[in-house]
Chains A and B, each alone.
Chain A
Amino acid sequence: MSTTVGEIIESIGENDAHLAVQRTATAANYDETYAYSRDNVLSCWLTLVLITLASAALATVTLEFIDKDKR
């Protein structure tokens, strides 16, 4: 059997093929990581706040040793 991609698309109908490919590809690329939910976003926000606080704490601890700088 020999054909071209274009012929297959035409045999299905361009609009139908477009919809089918888009629907299938979109469903196949569904990613739970990016789920549209409050919990998902809230957990990211919380982690960003924790990173901020941890960085600030580390900066404070680091600067507390500033007197021990060697020239």
Chain B
Amino acid sequence: MPETTMENMPETTQEKSGERHITLRYRGRGSQIWIYLGKFLRMFVYQNDWKVLPMAAVIAGLVAMVTRFMFFRTMEGTLMSAFALTCVGIWNGCFNSIQVICRERDVVKREHRAGMHISSYIIAHLIYQALLCLMQTAVTVYVMRRVGIEFPENGLFTRWAVVDIGFTVFLVTYAADALSLWISSLARNTTTAMTIMPFVLIFQLVFSGGMLTLPEWSKPLTDMTISRYGLTALAAQADYNSRPLVSAWSSLISMRNSDITATVTVGQVLDYLADEENPGAAELRAVEFTQTMTSEQVLSLLRSDERTANVLRTVGDEVLLRAIGDGPVEIRFTLGEVVDGMAAKGRGKSP
């Protein structure tokens, strides 16, 4: 059982002419904060509260071992790792404070009746938990670096990204800690608090919005979770959008031997190639062809088309041969020109 502190309510006893006068002198809110802070620090040392630090190290180590080859490297790996790091923060924060108030509820009740200010008690808890979360964050970041996670060099706010990311982890841990403090103040005993906690954790993880595709109606719920903001901040700081997405290529390679059967008409191919807005089609349209022909081959080609044959008959072969010359003729054209010509021919216009 935690110690009972009556320090916030010292009493002075004075005896005057045989009568005993008891004067109660309550300490102010500010003094009570320091008294309770002292009590919590003693509990950290003597009641094994310090055990949360090695626990944080173990959790960070396990997560880092899994994420070290994907965090800050790939798009999907960064998102998963940011989610895992958010979970670490929420887990640490929840376990720090889920039992702290409900386990000494009777003591709090008695001391409140004896003059304790609830606000002082909560502020003392907040200061103590902030120190605890700060230490846990330092341990988490240190262990992650030791295990092999390579943090980026420059951060958005400081010169060291590790400091920025550490601050986010601290805020996530601290917010989860404060939320658990509230749950602990609601619960009448530790069993109730520990029963509620899994629901809170599941809610935070499911409604983070990063890992599961959530329906539209759940958006207001997502906006209330710590995990959503933790995940967003961590993914943004890890520059999620600049990392390469590797799973698409991996999926494609795993389908390497899969058969594809499709029916494509010439019209579909031409339609595709006629679309100049499409970058893929534009690249293909720019492909250049070179054909070397003799003057006789040019003439025979022109004679093969009715419209050019008519022109030839009017002009005469000799005129054209003089224009072309005797040597080979090099004709250059792009695929786009061919496609446009065929399209124009299809519309009944001369290419």
Q: Does B bind A?
A: yes
Given A1-B263, A4-B260, A59-B101, also A48-B236 (CB < 8 A): no
Count residues of B near A (Cβ-Cβ below 8 Å): 62
* Contact pattern, A 34-71, Cβ under 8 Å of B = 1, otherwise 0: 11111011001101110111011011101110110100
Within the assembled complex, what's the spacing in Å between the Cα atoms of A60 and B181?
A: 10
Q: How many A-B residue pairs have CB under 8 A?
A: 159
Q: In this assembly, does B168 line the interface, its C-beta being within 8 Å of a C-beta of chain A?
A: yes
* Contact pattern, B 321-334, Cβ under 8 Å of A = 1, otherwise 0: 00000000000000
Within the assembled complex, what's the spacing in Å between the Cα atoms of A9 and B119?
A: 67
B229 touching A55, Cβ below 8 Å:
no
A56 contacts across to B, CB distance below 8 A? 122, 126, 178, 181-182
Within the assembled complex, what's the spacing in Å between the Cα atoms of A44 and B240?
A: 16
A2 touching B255, Cβ below 8 Å:
no
A45 touching B241, Cβ below 8 Å:
no
| CB of A53 to closest CB in B, whole Å | 8
B172 touching A48, Cβ below 8 Å:
yes
| CB of A49 to closest CB in B, whole Å | 7
A35 touching B241, Cβ below 8 Å:
yes
B241 touching A34, Cβ below 8 Å:
yes
Q: In this assembly, does B281 line the interface, its C-beta being within 8 Å of a C-beta of chain A?
A: no
A41 touching B233, Cβ below 8 Å:
yes
Residues of A contacting B: mostly: helix
A47 contacts across to B, CB distance below 8 A? 229
Given A9-B252, A41-B156, A59-B122, also A22-B186 (CB < 8 A): no
| CB of A31 to closest CB in B, whole Å | 7
Within the assembled complex, what's the spacing in Å between the Cα atoms of A36 and B245?
A: 17
* Contact pattern, A 7-25, Cβ under 8 Å of B = 1, otherwise 0: 0110000000110011011
Within the assembled complex, what's the spacing in Å between the Cα atoms of A58 and B126?
A: 13
A37 touching B122, Cβ below 8 Å:
no
Contact of A41 among B75, B119, B236 (CB under 8 A): B236
* Contact pattern, B 262-281, Cβ under 8 Å of A = 1, otherwise 0: 11100000000000000000
Contact of B226 among A21, A41, A51, A67 (CB under 8 A): A51
Contact of A52 among B174, B188, B262 (CB under 8 A): B174
Q: In this assembly, does B232 line the interface, its C-beta being within 8 Å of a C-beta of chain A?
A: yes
Within the assembled complex, what's the spacing in Å between the Cα atoms of A64 and B264?
A: 75
Nearest neighbor of B180 in chain A, beta-carbon distance: A55
Contact of A48 among B75, B184, B186, B226 (CB under 8 A): B226
Chain B CB within 10 Å, residue with most, of A31, A33, A55, A56: A55
Contact of B181 among A40, A59, A66 (CB under 8 A): A59
A40 contacts across to B, CB distance below 8 A? 232-233, 236
A62 touching B233, Cβ below 8 Å:
no
A26 touching B244, Cβ below 8 Å:
yes
Q: In this assembly, does B27 line the interface, its C-beta being within 8 Å of a C-beta of chain A?
A: no
* Contact pattern, B 168-199, Cβ under 8 Å of A = 1, otherwise 0: 10011011011101101110100000000000
Q: In this assembly, does B46 line the interface, its C-beta being within 8 Å of a C-beta of chain A?
A: no
A8 contacts across to B, CB distance below 8 A? 260
A63 touching B108, Cβ below 8 Å:
yes
Within the assembled complex, what's the spacing in Å between the Cα atoms of A36 and B236?
A: 5
Given A55-B179, A56-B178, A60-B118, also A5-B249 (CB < 8 A): no
A9 touching B230, Cβ below 8 Å:
no
A18 touching B249, Cβ below 8 Å:
yes
By a beta-carbon cutoff of 8 Å, the part of chain B in contact with chain A is 75, 79, 101, 105, 108-109, 112-113, 118-119, 121-122, 126, 156-157, 164, 167-168, 171-172, 174-175, 177-179, 181-182, 184-186, 188, 226, 229-230, 232-233, 235-237, 239-249, 252-253, 255-264
Since A49-B175, A67-B109, A69-B109 are in contact, a sample of 5 more A-B pairs with Cβ atoms closer than 8 Å, ordered by chain A residue number, is A2-B259, A26-B244, A26-B245, A29-B75, A34-B240
| CB pairs A–B below 8 angstroms (7 shown) | A1-B264, A48-B174, A51-B179, A59-B122, A59-B185, A60-B119, A63-B121
